[in-house]
Structure 1
Amino acid sequence: MNVHDPAAELRANVAVPFERAQAMPVSVYTSESFQALEQEHVFATSWLCAGRVDALKEPGDYLTMEISGEPILVLRDREGVLRAMSNVCRHRMSTLLEGRGRVRVITCPYHAWTYALDGSLRGAPAMDMNQSFCKEANSLPAIRCVDWNGWIMVTLNPDLPEPQEQLAEVDDLVGYLGMADYVETFREEHRWNTNWKILAENFMESYHLPMCHGGTIGGAVNLRQMTCPEGKAHFNYHHILKDDSIALSIAHKDNTTLQGEDRLRTWLMAIYPSLLITLTPGYFWYLCLTPDGPGHVKILYGGGLHPDFAADPDAETHFSALKGLLDHVNDEDRGCTERVWRGMQGRLARPGALSHLERPNYEFARWIANRIPDV
């Protein structure tokens, strides 16, 4: 094996059974060439999340994202249809919109070509003397975009099965909570100094909770009572039971649908490659990850309320306290994951054996390895 080939190192790493598993090789995180392979064979071929559907409520509401360097625009058109399309002008290739907002038409900031909300070209000033110009041939290319359980899912892959098919087992596990109906109350963007996989793995396992989150939620965790079920083909998960010590973490007092432990159960789901969801009977929060070189990750961080609590007159007060806790937990995770990245720069850095509580990390590594070609 060529020790300088991260893909070969990763395949060897996951060739052993879980009971003998090691953390992923350092090169898989630090290599520029390996991240280029991830962009081509993981991110450009998968369903990726742009956030919650209710972030785009009205016609003209839009947000932007990138997939493997491809600028993408997601919006609500005049008929209320959710659309994704290229965010690159068909004239001299300027990007069109930035961030989030609301528009009546899409206007290029370079030469004022304008597009309707369905992507068709409406106007192109001073183009009447060019005999090759055809207005009808210059619509913005459409990109696959669907509403999956309230999540905006986008892909560059024309052949990928729909999320409803690919992620049907998610519904089998958490369908009783009605994830599509949860109401988003915040959405933020961050950039951390760590590799995207370090942060994804951090979410997937609760082994780190007692230490990393000692200042917040770690004290309520008993490692001996934790289990990590075997994951599914396109996601991994685990769940824990909570009490009412954390606001909104259990079902609303007026909710008569949820019974028994389902009123207390918190789900943690990692939808490959980069949508990380915590879902409780009262609230949810999530991270969507976009690699930004080996040593940085762009993060979409959002969350909100179960509809029972969204309609409760005291919900805003409770959620304000909860948001403060979530922010604190997020800051703790940032410290832990950035320290891992710094440690990987050392010449003596080596992956160690995985705990039984880190089964999701092993399965995540296998999923990535299966998508990187043997070249």
Structure 2
Amino acid sequence: MAKDHIDPVEELRQNTAQPFEQAHAMPPSVYTSDEFLNEELEHIFSKDWFCVGRADALKEPGAYTTCELAGQPVLVIRDRDGELRAMSNVCLHRMSTLLHGNGKTRAIVCPYHAWTYNLDGSLRGAPAMTLNEGFCKDQYQLPQVKCQEWLGWVFITLNADAPDVSDQLAQVEEMIAGYDMTNYTEAFYEEHVWDTNWKVLAENFMESYHLPVCHSGTIGGLSKLEDMICPPGLPAFNYHTILKDEELRIAMAHAKNDRLKGEERRTTYLLAIYPSLLITLTPGYFWYLSLHPKGPGQVLIRFGGGMSNDFADDPDIDQNFADLKALLDDVNVEDRGCTEKVFKGLSSDRAVPGHLSHLERPNYDFAQYLMARINAGRGN
């Protein structure tokens, strides 16, 4: 006998109608159904800003990265004038995708027929087109995609009417001014695919409630539950803070940082910039995840990190960061295990969401954001 259809949007609507003091985790259908994923792609990933990484990773003319945003292939490239541009990553001839992965190029060359575009997206040349009387290369320009930098991050959006990133995140910028986030240099960048829903991984980042258990073999002992502060979120982001143990020296403010005072010098911000940029920001180092769904049960992760430039001249900086990267890799193994188990559990017919802890306030705010964006997209 077929099950009755469950409307995941209506389930989330009922879930988010509860006040935080009575809140439950989001219902399983929000994570497991194609129906809800389609709502996210249409009303969230097609409309909001998506982070492709750090600007300093695209420093030289011709440096590029690529992504698929809500089904649309996009490339981001530094042009010859030093400006970052985002544009369609689809050739205007027979519509092959153009660049792949990340790298550096002198020109954008189609791998199918070698139509060649300048770094600004204008067509430079096309072989064997002289006999087509209607062809004029000056009429070809790769469609541009809205692109902005903010505190060293590169954001793109398919929505030409999206408010500026700097306006949406002005409160974040004010809150973390003493960290000077623009002046952190990316030391590594990787891409991974995990077998879990993107929201499971996002929520895993948003709460440190799981640290003592999931990360008992790594960082669990460096953060205490009683030191975690989880304020109410805001429309474009949520955050919480934890105090790092001073034995992790590169998480502390450097001696030359006179911007942070008292406990600020060992405070870590865990910033969740909606929909899917997740930043761990310490006074010494940062790392981040930028997430995009690959179906309900897989997530593509853009993973990077590096150090504050305050540490750039320290003689032991390379070894310290190598040790940190090894630690982060171990933490990722633990997180992957936890989040893939959660998705497996969510997919069970007997999965029932329980009440949230006060340490999961960001998860509640994330659910409110999802509901608000879908309501706005539907005109509700």
TM range (shorter): over 0.9
Q: What is the CA–CA distance in structure 1 between the aligned matches of 2:13 and 2:263, rounded to whole Å? A: 40
Q: Which amino acid aligns with 2:219?
A: I
What SS does structure 1 have at the residue aligned with 2:171? helix
Q: Residues 3 and 9 of structure 1 are in contact (CA less than 8 Å); yes or no, is this contact kept in structure 2?
A: no
Aligned positions of 1:81-100 closer than 5 A: 81-100=83-102
Aligned positions of 1:143-154 closer than 5 A: 143-154=145-156
Aligned positions of 1:180-259 closer than 5 A: 180-259=182-261
2:7 is equivalent to residue 31 of structure 1: no
Q: Residues 246 and 322 of structure 1 are in contact (CA less than 8 Å); yes or no, is this contact kept in structure 2?
A: no
Structure 1 position 225, deviation (Å): 3.7
Structure 1 position 54, deviation (Å): 0.5
Q: Which amino acid aligns with 1:101?
A: G
Structure 1 position 10, deviation (Å): 0.4
Equivalence for 1:330: 332
1:159-196 superposed Cα distances (whole Å, 9 cap, x missing partner): 01100101100011102211011011010111100000
Equivalence for 1:118: 120
Match of 1:311 among 310, 313, 333: 313
Q: Residues 117 and 124 of structure 2 are in contact (CA less than 8 Å); yes or no, is this contact kept in structure 1?
A: yes
Match of 1:73 among 52, 72, 75: 75
Aligned positions of 1:152-171 closer than 5 A: 152-171=154-173
1:236-290 superposed Cα distances (whole Å, 9 cap, x missing partner): 0011122322240001133333321221111100000000001111000000001
Q: What is the CA–CA distance in structure 2 between the aligned matches of 1:101 and 1:304, rounded to whole Å? A: 19
**TM-score, normalization by structure 1:** 0.97
Q: What is the CA–CA distance in structure 1 between the aligned matches of 2:258 and 2:89, rounded to whole Å? A: 46
Q: What is the CA–CA distance in structure 2 between the aligned matches of 1:269 and 1:59, rounded to whole Å? A: 30
Q: What is the CA–CA distance in structure 1 between the aligned matches of 2:188 and 2:232, rounded to whole Å? A: 32
Match of 1:366 among 362, 365, 368: 368
Equivalence for 2:300: 298
What SS does structure 2 have at the residue aligned with 1:267? strand
Q: Residues 42 and 371 of structure 1 are in contact (CA less than 8 Å); yes or no, is this contact kept in structure 2?
A: yes
Q: What is the CA–CA distance in structure 2 between the aligned matches of 1:151 and 1:94, rounded to whole Å? A: 28
Aligned positions of 1:265-280 closer than 5 A: 265-280=267-282
- Quickly say closer, same or farther: Cα 1:176–1:254, change in 2 above 3 A: closer
Equivalence for 2:341: 339
Equivalence for 1:40: 42
Structure 1 position 42, deviation (Å): 0.5
Moved more, 210-219 or 273-282: 210-219
Q: Residues 183 and 310 of structure 1 are in contact (CA less than 8 Å); yes or no, is this contact kept in structure 2?
A: no
What SS does structure 2 have at the residue aligned with 1:28? helix
Match of 1:107 among 103, 106, 109: 109
Structure 1 position 137, deviation (Å): 2.0
Q: What is the CA–CA distance in structure 1 between the aligned matches of 2:275 and 2:256, rounded to whole Å? A: 36
Structure 1 position 3, deviation (Å): 5.8
Structure 1 position 101, deviation (Å): 1.0
Q: What is the CA–CA distance in structure 1 between the aligned matches of 2:267 and 2:298, rounded to whole Å? A: 33
Q: Which amino acid aligns with 1:68?
A: A
Q: Residues 251 and 285 of structure 2 are in contact (CA less than 8 Å); yes or no, is this contact kept in structure 1?
A: yes
Equivalence for 1:260: 262
Structure 1 position 71, deviation (Å): 0.5
Q: Residues 253 and 283 of structure 2 are in contact (CA less than 8 Å); yes or no, is this contact kept in structure 1?
A: yes
Equivalence for 1:130: 132
Q: Residues 193 and 296 of structure 1 are in contact (CA less than 8 Å); yes or no, is this contact kept in structure 2?
A: yes
Q: Which amino acid aligns with 2:9?
A: A
Q: What is the CA–CA distance in structure 2 between the aligned matches of 1:333 and 1:129, rounded to whole Å? A: 58
- Quickly say closer, same or farther: Cα 1:191–1:128, change in 2 above 3 A: same
What SS does structure 1 have at the residue aligned with 2:35? helix
Structure 1 position 124, deviation (Å): 1.3
Q: Which amino acid aligns with 2:85?
A: R
Q: Which amino acid aligns with 1:128?
A: T
Q: What is the CA–CA distance in structure 1 between the aligned matches of 2:115 and 2:228, rounded to whole Å? A: 57
Q: Which amino acid aligns with 1:231?
A: G
Q: Which amino acid aligns with 1:336?
A: C
What SS does structure 2 have at the residue aligned with 1:248? helix
1:294-314 superposed Cα distances (whole Å, 9 cap, x missing partner): 000000110000001122221
Q: What is the CA–CA distance in structure 2 between the aligned matches of 1:156 and 1:355, rounded to whole Å? A: 36
Q: Which amino acid aligns with 2:63?
A: D
Moved more, 284-293 or 170-179: 170-179
Q: Which amino acid aligns with 1:86?
A: S
What SS does structure 2 have at the residue aligned with 1:59? coil
Q: What is the CA–CA distance in structure 2 between the aligned matches of 1:157 and 1:256, rounded to whole Å? A: 40
Q: Residues 89 and 99 of structure 2 are in contact (CA less than 8 Å); yes or no, is this contact kept in structure 1?
A: yes
Q: Which amino acid aligns with 1:37?
A: E
Structure 1 position 106, deviation (Å): 0.7
Q: Residues 223 and 244 of structure 2 are in contact (CA less than 8 Å); yes or no, is this contact kept in structure 1?
A: no
Equivalence for 1:50: 52
Output the aligned Cα RMSD: 1.3
Q: Which amino acid aligns with 1:192?
A: W
> Structure 1 stretches of 5 or more lacking a match?
none
Q: What is the CA–CA distance in structure 2 between the aligned matches of 1:257 and 1:16, rounded to whole Å? A: 40
> Structure 2 stretches of 5 or more lacking a match?
none
Identical pairs, percent: 60
Q: What is the CA–CA distance in structure 2 between the aligned matches of 1:62 and 1:358, rounded to whole Å? A: 37
